[in-house]
Structure 1
Amino acid sequence: MKKTLFFISCLLAIVLSSLQIKSQSVSADQRAHDLGIPTLDELAGTWIPQELAVNPPSLHNCHNMLIVDKDLTSYFFNPGGWLYNLAAYADPREPSIWKRGHPALKLLIDGIEYQSEELKQGNYRVLRRNEHCNGLSVETDTRLMHQKRGVLLTVKCTNTTLTAKRFKLTMKVPGSIQPDGIGVANEFQRKGVITVVRPTSPPDKIDIDAYIVALWNWHIDLKPGETYTIGFVAGDEDTQLTTTDGFIQGDINHAKGHYIDSCVNMWAKAFNAAFEDCKFQWANRWADAFTVNNSHYSGHAPVLKTTDAALQRNYYMGIFTLLSVERSQFPIYPVSFITNGERDDGTQFYGDLAVLPTLWSLLEPKGMKATLRRWLVQNLRNGAWLDIRQTSGYDTTHYNRMFGYAFNACLFFKTADTYLRVTQDTAFLDEALEDGRTVFQHLNRIAVDWETLPKNKTGLTDFGGNECLLECDPNYTHYVAAMNAQVIYMLRKMAGWLRFKGNPVSAGKMEIQANKLLPIVMQLYKEGEGIWLSYDEKGNKVEIRHCMDYAYAGDALVNDLSRKQKQEMNNFVKSELMTDNWMRAMSLRDSAAAYTYRADHGPYGSYDVWLPLTMHTMWQLGDASSAFDFYRRISAVTLEGSFTQAHEFYGPTYNRKDAPVRISEAWGNMRETSGGGTFAEVVIQTFFGFDPNISGTKILVDPALKRPFKGVLQNVNCHHKNISLQTGEDGIEIK
């Protein structure tokens, strides 16, 4: 019955869409123009040479993710989880061992398969083209159906010769021919899944080769400059269903693919409507994110209006990147954000989402609150992510040292603290969570968790080995400055919440404790260099020339550092980390540089999130102009597409200031990640200074500071009112 209703709903949706294609497209773009935000087409990337796109463009549909291959038509699509298997994660340069969710659709022109020469990330679509296919220029457009397991693709062929010619277009599709003699079903490529592929028009001839591959053939006659376009549809479904008692039940209709074949057949017949609907759904979702009282999100993101094109592009690309990893199928909340699409369904790394708490609080406060209920009960000393398919459960083991991600404590604390301050939902403090403790008790628990971790003779806290911190940096271990400084930060912030709850005595004790720790942490600062040291497990001091300590220690101790120390720290970043268009996470002068190959944390690139965190700290440390100039310069990388896990330097000039930059794939670096939203977070929270205090009496930080840009941030929800923040001669004005 459910399948029948779903089928009918799909049919009705496509019929309605077919009647409204033109009006939908116009209205979706018109909403963006009316809001004063760029359209998705205006935000799209540019054509990138295929040989430079080592991590090819991708698509999301609020349920799943697709990554295109480097030919003209095939792709990787796994709606059930990992696009990578373990072997591919170890060596992602070998795409043949990736899991493919749908059969590889291979296009041949006159019997020859051509690679794409260029690729373009189009947000709701991916474009590929090769203008030199034996007299044909071929451009393909790949799209994902909104929240459905369907892929749509068009192939547009144009005769570029000076004479009329006949071309043979062949599509190779692995699988067996369906009873109608056209559709192809594949149930051997992925166990428990059947995929059906269909063209929008019948081929002239169908052949079968020895490897159970169907060959659809069309003979097309084209005059000079004439174009021929054909579409293809692929859809899949599970053939095994798990019942509540744990047994696997087969379904005869599923096993034969009757249901999904009917859907694919329907989509193929209403192809134009379904194809346009892919854009319409994404464009509406995009506009919803900035619409006050919209019907999808429980909040909205501010609208940025500025004549600074680089500022505007980075801000909106940051928000789009976050929306791309939105998922609606998980029980924790209907609007949730995963880390990225390549991992198992529901994988939410704390570190990729906790870095944008202001944006999250404004856009989706209800979903954030639901997520915090799960985060706050988790074990701080074990794990680094949450499975949002699970609505309950947590690790109750008391570990005597750090086993998981050491930054869990400050990430949880800052996320909850920001939610409470931005939304003014202070009643949440008294809500009892799954373990019986209130949110307020959890904040206090997190702030003092460091007390029972091991200490060295100087009083510094041991935050674990390499696996608990930067993973790939052999020097960044144990007694690091960043987390020890964050302890001071949390104690001071918790003191504010204790005063808010009417306990000034305990607040005073926490502040005294923080002040006692300050000189202990400051012993790790290396005067004259602007860098921080750490103690290894044997008690040896080690130089750390990494952005991690700069970003986290600098932000935590901004009011404790001298002017000279702030200048030294900023000079270190500008001279050793920043390049023309990107940043090195680690200096080439770091003693571990020769042993750290990953682009996200090493000297050959950076985890995307490190850049806005670095800009925030540089702004805090007194160099707003350099921080903003750096923010503008990195907009060049968005021409390849959204923000990702990491960008890397490449080519013979990789170690120079002008090193070229691209999206990294090496060592498992992935495409869109939730952390990309940090490029919008730094605009809201740092550049415009929106950072309300606990009591709600102050909403801006340094409002009198003259900004190095002009613009207005509209519809910032504050105290249940929408305000505008506008730059002026005297800093930021509240409208």
Structure 2
Amino acid sequence: MRKIIFISLLTLLLFSCGNKGTTVKDITLNIPSLETLSGQWVSVDTVDMEPSLRNFRAQALVNKDMTSLSWFASAPYSGGYHTGVMKVNGQTPLVTHYRWQPYQALRKSISDNVEINSATRMVPNENLILWEVELRNTTNQQQSYTIMIDHIGFISKYPEPEWQWWYPYPTLTGVTTTRDDVIENMRDYIGTGKNSVDKEVEELINGRPTKTMKKVSWPSDDEILDSKKYTAHTDEGIVLISDKETETTTGYSIITNSDSQSLRQSGAISLWNVELNSDEAKTIRFAMAWGGEPNSVKQMLPLTEQNFESVWDGVQSTWEFLWEDIFKPNNKTLSGTFPVLESNDAVANKVYYTGPLTMLYLMNTNLPQHEKVFLTGGPRWGASITFFWDITEWATLWGVVDPDMMKNHLTAWVGIDPSKHFGQDNFNGGGVGNGYSANYWALFQMMRAYLTISGDTEFLKENIQGKTVLEHLEQYALNWKRISIYDESKNMDDMYRLADFGDDEWNLLECVPTYKHIVPSFNAGYIWMMRETASFHEQAGNTLKANELRTEADEMIERLLKLYAGNGVWNSLYPDGRMIEVRHCLDFMFMGRYLPNDIPAHIKGEMMSFAYRELITDNWMRAQSIEDVAAKDSDRPDHGPLGAFDGWPAGTMDALVQLGYPQKALDFYHAIEPVTNEGIWAQAHELWGERKWEKDAKVRIAKRGWHNRESSSGIAMSQVMLKGFFGFYPSVDGTALKLNKNWTFKGKLYHVKYKGKYYTLDSTGDEVKMVEENH
């Protein structure tokens, strides 16, 4: 695999000067700048989830004050509570506006006599965070300000405990993995002076978020600063905080000299007395590093006013270099290339390019199991985790972008039992979480994508964990037989031969209590898997086996269609014979994506009516219809009636294309563009506001329900362009394009890697042409 290199600003300049070919320059002009793709300034009263920070190894969320961070994680290090607030004249200024950019998080606070702007940056691939805070006198006369900033180093190292989705972090009473809203309550009330309220809270009980009403409390800032778990001292002006329980040191360098500084147990407080004339500003800079021995941390912080500027600017420069690099053939970051889209459709361009930025932002190069990973989420959850379900949503695109990485991951994932784990912990290497019903389909789809796009047919013969890859594919495709409850001796209806996914809804859609047992979606997935496995067997000369699998798939379709409830929706079948109607997007997506030619025309029409009547809104969609019998019990932004997991709109668009409605898919693609104004793709976007039950509901990144700020599934929006609109979906028999009849998206996709060569997909004419490039 290629070694990822983080290059100095000088090297970047030299590199860019040496690549001035006319063709390359013309193509790269299609790539929007990071400034263009950054989030817009958003008012705090419209925000549910605060912006995050990442640097390819660490991650954190900003809070509602002007300086502190929470949910800091950089395995094996993690932080508890927050990193410290700023006070002005004894009060904590609160954020009025946020802006997310890939290389920094911006906060603004506007009040009667002062405007404060703060920017926070993580230095790429270093254990270093930088702050720059500007306070400006907005009155028409001189003002005095006393500025105090807490520098808290509540960070510990946990190399031994499993880094599950709920990773370990330190508290006043020791390490915990519990998610009980203590930190979230602290974040909600930060700067208010409160440390307890009566409220409805969510606690993770038996692995599930559960609402309870109780008096909740959290430590005050003084209690955190006075924690006996830590001890602080200064060394040549640098504040060093040592953890007594783990081998961890946090250091602060106060770049802008303070008038005084007081040490506490877990940090220090710096004070500045400032006189400012009208419109005059004071800028304060400081930095935080973390690591093991105090000396190693101290060596990360030799910052002065002079070199701070170059390190600060270098953060943005490195991001801009990497952003350009991932679109170049033979780059240093990927084994393939993210295709470059050229079109006059500015709205579609914005949606498409939000995908590669999400991918780059979620890239982590500091986890030991793989040289490079694309994390599923974070920062609150899953700081080291890759979910099979999320990443398979863009499996075709991943096969183009980084086939070497994909093979490396799949080879490792074959050893993880999909009946027990939903993904991999990239820190300690094991499987994590519970067994999702989606896992077999997810792993199969990624295997298929790698094999058909790379052309690496020898991989099918490779022996992993005692079986060839082809045998693993067949095992995934036939797993439905192992979970079917059909018993011929009991004279059961033939429909019970279908896969039964059990009584625990947590293995399916988690929050939808009726979606369990025999459901249409993943049964459709198994039919598709059998057909694709048949094609692999046929390719290998096993015609008899191929015919056997296709026959079983056809028989299964007859059973599956009996689950149709009418009016465009489907039933779940329970062991006691009950048919429970479920009005959810998952059935629409799977039936449309994997069995479009098996669905009778009248059912297709009714499915389309259902999707537009009950799911698709003006700028987003509902995962679950408001009319669903379980809607009131399923209110979570990702899978319930008031929002959708970011992979669902992409999956719905894919289904629309496969069902023969590419223009409707493009219209939907255009409609969701405004949601990118807040930033990149998230775990879910929620429908909110007074009209949240209506088609014109407002949309924002969701936090409630313990959601993550960003997540990888939304990268599938870019796959919709590649697969759906340009038709790139290689089949097992070697056919690369699956074209839409009498419809094309007008544009070009450059640098599509297929079987080791790069191609341009040109749809500027009446059909898509695939032209080999010269590199």
Task: Please classify the TM superposition score into its range, dividing by the shorter chain length.
Answer: 0.7 to 0.9
Say if 2:216 is the partner of 1:216. Answer: no
TM-score by length of 2: 0.82
Residue 373 of structure 1 aligns to a residue whose secondary structure is helix
Give the structure 2 partner of residue 241 of structure 1.
none
- Find the partner of 2:283 among 208, 211, 229: 229
Alignment of 1:243-642 (within 5 A): 254=293, 257-266=294-303, 270-342=307-379, 343-390=381-428, 404-433=435-464, 435-456=465-486, 457=493, 458=495, 459-465=497-503, 466-527=505-566, 529-642=567-680
Could you say what secondary structure the match of 2:515 adopts? Answer: coil
In 2, the alpha carbon distance for the partners of 1:77 and 1:32 equals: 42
Residue 45 of structure 2 is aligned to residue 51 of structure 1: yes
- Residue 208 of structure 1 deviates from its aligned partner by 5.7
Contact 2:356 2:715 in 1 (8 A): yes
Q: 2:737: which partner in 1?
A: 700
Q: Is the contact made by 1:116 and 1:128 (CA closer than 8 Å) also made in structure 2?
A: yes
2:766 alignment partner AA: D
Match 1:68 to one of 62, 68, 73: 62
> C-alpha distance in 1, partners of 2:28/2:526?
46
RMSD value, Cα:
2.9
Per-residue deviation, 1:563? 2.3
Rate the CA distance shift 1:31–1:165 in 2: closer, same or farther, 3 A. farther
Provide the residue aligned with 2:119 in structure 1.
141
Aligned partners of 1:728 and 1:20: how far apart in 2? 38
Q: 2:145 aligns with which of 146, 162, 167?
A: 167
CA distance in 1, matches of 2:149, 2:548: 72
What is aligned with 2:702?
A: 664
Q: State the shift of 1:438 in Å.
A: 1.1
Give the Cα–Cα distance (whole angstroms) in 2 for the partners of residues 205 and 21 of structure 1: 40
TM-score after normalising by structure 1: 0.87
Q: Kindly indicate whether the alpha-carbon contact (under 8 Å) linking 2:387 and 2:423 is maintained by their aligned counterparts in 1.
A: yes
- 394 and 659 in structure 1: CA distance in 2 versus 1, 3 angstrom threshold: closer
Partners of 1:26 and 1:78 lie apart in 2 by 37
Matching residue of 1:712: 748
CA distance in 1, matches of 2:65, 2:558: 59
Kept after mapping to 2: 8 A contact 1:495/1:507: yes
Aligned counterpart, 1:39: 33
- C-alpha distance in 1, partners of 2:472/2:355? 30
**Corresponding residue for 1:648?**
686
Mapped to 1, the partners of 2:451 and 2:353 lie a distance apart of 25
Equivalent residue letter for 2:467: R
Aligned partners of 1:566 and 1:622 also within 8 Å: no
Give CA-to-partner distance per residue, 1:578-617, whole Å, 9 cap, x none.
1111111000000000111211110011111111001100
- Percent identity, aligned pairs only, is 30
Aligned partner of residue 505 in structure 1, secondary structure: helix
Residue 403 of structure 1 deviates from its aligned partner by 7.3
Deviations 1:538-592 (A, max 9, x none): 2200101000111112222101112222121111111101111111100000000
Cα distance in structure 1, aligned partners of 2:12 and 2:244: 35
Q: Which amino acid aligns with 2:302?
A: N
Distance 1:694 1:128, change over 3 A: same
State the Cα distance separating 1:530 from its structure 2 match.
0.7
How far the C-alpha of 1:267 sits from its partner, in A, is 7.1
Segment of structure 1 superposing worse, 489-498 or 373-382:
373-382
| Residue identity in the other structure for 2:288 | A
Measure, in 2, the Cα distance between the counterparts of 1:28 and 1:131: 45
Separation (CA, whole Å) in 2 of partners of 1:27 and 1:197: 39
In structure 2, distance between residues paired with 1:553 and 1:151: 47
Structure 2 residue identity aligned to 1:52 = T
Structure-2 change in CA distance of 1:718 and 1:329 (3 Å)? same
TM superposition shift of 1:704: 4.3
Pick closer, same or farther for the CA change 1:283–1:28 going to 2, 3 Å: farther
1:145 Cα deviation after fit: 0.9
- The whole-number CA distance in structure 2 between the counterparts of 1:162 and 1:181 is 40
Question: What is the SS of the residue equivalent to 2:249?
Answer: strand
Q: Which digits, 9 at most, give the CA deviation of each residue in 1:503-555, with x for residues without a partner?
A: 1111111111111111100001123x111111123220010100011111222
Letter of the structure 2 residue corresponding to residue 549 of structure 1: D
CA distance in 2 between counterparts of 1:234 and 1:38 reads 32
Q: Is the 8 A contact 1:403 1:464 kept in 2?
A: no
2:234 equivalent among 179, 188, 193: 179
* Residues 359, 715 of structure 2: 8 Å contact kept: yes
Deviations 1:624-671 (A, max 9, x none): 222111111111111111111111122222111111111111121101
Which segment is superposed worse, 113-122 or 99-108? Answer: 99-108
Structure 1 residue 130 corresponds to structure 2 residue 106:
no
5+ residue gaps in structure 1?
1-9, 84-98, 239-253, 396-401
- In structure 1, what is the Cα distance between the partners aligned to 2:510 and 2:448? 27
> Structure 1 CA distance, aligned partners of 2:484 and 2:60?
45
Equivalent of residue 106 in structure 1, options 66, 74, 85:
85
Once structures 1 and 2 are overlaid, which stretch shifts more, 151-160 or 181-190?
181-190
- Deviation string, structure 1 residues 361-398 (Cα, Å, up to 9, x no partner): 1111111001111222332322211223356x789xxx
Q: Is 1:584–1:606's contact at 8 Å kept on the other side of the alignment?
A: yes
Distance 1:32-1:315 versus aligned 2 partners, 3 A rule? farther
Counterpart position of 1:193? 248
How many angstroms apart in 2 are the aligned matches of 1:656 and 1:427?
A: 52
Deviations 1:270-292 (A, max 9, x none): 21111111112211221121110
Which residue in the other structure is 2:156 paired with? Answer: none
Report the Cα offset of residue 261 of structure 1: 2.2
Query: CA contact under 8 A between 1:232 and 1:268: conserved in structure 2?
Result: no
On the 8 A contact 1:332/1:370 being kept in 2, the answer is no
In 2, the alpha carbon distance for the partners of 1:712 and 1:627 equals: 18
Give the letter aligned to residue 531 of structure 2: R
Deviates more, 1:575-584 or 1:257-266: 257-266
Q: List runs of 5+ in structure 2 lacking aligned partners.
A: 153-224, 226-230, 487-492
Report the alpha carbon displacement of residue 440 of structure 1 after superposing the two structures with TM: 1.1
Relative distance call for 1:51 and 1:338 in structure 2 (3 A) is same
Aligned letter for 2:43?
P
Cα separation, partners in 2 of 1:705 and 1:28, compared to 1, 3 Å? same
Q: Does 1:678 align with 2:725?
A: no
Looking at structure 2, the residues matched to 266 and 156 of structure 1 have their Cα atoms a distance apart, in angstroms, of 19
Deviations 1:144-163 (A, max 9, x none): 01111211010122232223
Distance change in 2, residues 1:613/1:28 (3 Å): farther
Question: In structure 2, what is the equivalent of residue 95 of structure 1?
Answer: none
Task: Work out the CA distance in 2 between the residues paired with 1:141 and 1:196.
Answer: 19
Counterpart Cα distance in 2 of 1:268 and 1:27? 32
Shift of 1:32: 11
Kindly tell me the number of residue pairs found equivalent between the two proteins.
677
Q: For 1:212 and 1:387, how far apart are their aligned partners in 2?
A: 30
